[in-house]
Structure 1
């Protein structure tokens, strides 16, 4: 980090997954590559709440990363609504696996393009550099690290 007054501690990683409902795939076909998403597929993009711009679909294969920049069929700026649109069969979504685990486990959503999964996104806790970190902050950061690593309780089962 450029600001030497801050400390960033990595607490975990999250992976993006691209998926759709079995009904959607039956109707529109299962794409074999990201290029096929340009041809007749309906993409449900997550919109940045700050800018309103669609986050591009990201893919990586054999160490080469690419972004699919296209006009979405539907753009949504709220995570639960984004997932619900995918679960309703309105199109293809790409979001973090921890958000989709129940739908993927039940078969409600099916992962596609798994060979093109992008590299995981790191999650960090950023806090001010002090000579002594308050104990309650230290405990909270350690708890977050345990949760994201799978050693903690609660949300760790979802991630």
Structure 2
């Protein structure tokens, strides 16, 4: 038995919940992973996994073994990586996931500088508004906005982004003067955003002094993609409330006009997130450190 490979296979099965997915990540046939698990359990003389046709679950002994061996495996892989790859010249592929507009506006335009610094690292970017699963999709890190829902993940703060409310001059010319967010429920239309995974419609929160207003808004169109949301606003289909970096160029050119400027909204915290029990390779660490540096210097990112 290749003990090192068997422990790797066991950890991947636990993290993905699947023998097939673990085999794919290790570039092995599923039967080979099954044999590795059988050999590992025989070696340890305990049952680590309960496997049915629908799910894989840890036994009590398996939970203890996973908790301890995941840390050992991380250290083992770290030493292997450091010995095989010079820190000054990391190489290989990393998989990252982020929102579409974060990718197109903030990250991808700056990647030539990262490539000049680390020419042997290839980056596979998943860009969408859905929330990716780091474990089951074998993603190294993600960029996420807002409060971190899963406390088991590790997050490094990148900064925060502020919001702006705006509409086209043509839209504003055909609607009453907008002075209070409550008017968005009756006298005006908003472009409404709904979340791709849950289908839940987003509410807009406004603050002015001690006054707080939550608005759902009257609408004629709703979208579940941030680029589509901006396109609908530019088409004059309603008022949009969005991250400033997405629309600043349109505001500067007069294509969009800010409204409700005496009202504010809570900024959106941005973080790069990764799993605590996943080996953070030299190349992933290099990318995470570069993201922190890049966002700290970006004019649209607040401290």
Q: TM-score, normalized by length of structure 2?
A: 0.46
Partner of residue 29 from structure 1, selected from 169, 176, 181: 176
Q: How far did 1:38 drift?
A: 2.1
**Contact 1:99 1:158 survives alignment (8 Å):** no
1:47 is matched with which residue?
Answer: 194
Decide which structure has greater strand share: 1
- Asked whether the 8 Å contact 1:15–1:97 carries over to 2, the reply is yes
TM score, norm. by length of structure 1: 0.83
Match of 1:116, SS state, is: coil
**Counterpart in 1 of 2:206?**
59
Higher helix share: 2
Structure number with higher relative contact order (C-alpha < 8 Å, ≥ 6 residues apart): 1
Match of residue 129 from structure 2: none
User: Quick check: 110-119 or 126-135, which moved more?
Assistant: 126-135
Cα distance in 1 for residues equivalent to 2:224 and 2:197: 9
Conserved 8 A contact 2:176-2:187: no
3-state SS in 2 of match to 1:114: coil
2:189/2:218 contact within 8 Å kept: no
The answer for the alignment partner of 2:225 in structure 1 is 78
List per-residue Cα deviations over 1:101-153 (Å, max 9, x = no partner).
Answer: 2211111011111221202110111223369843222221122122322x2xx
* Distance of 1:66 and 1:140 partners within structure 2: 39
Q: 2:169·2:257 contact (CA, 8 Å) conserved in 1?
A: yes
Shift of 1:29: 2.8
Name the counterpart of 1:87.
234
Name the CA distance, whole Å, in 2 between partners of 1:21 and 1:4: 40
List runs of 5+ in structure 1 lacking aligned partners.
none
**Deviations, residues 22-45 of structure 1 (Å, cap 9, x unaligned):** 111111033111112222201111
Aligned-residue RMSD, C-alpha: 2.4
Equivalent pair of 1:30/1:112 in contact (CA under 8 Å) = no
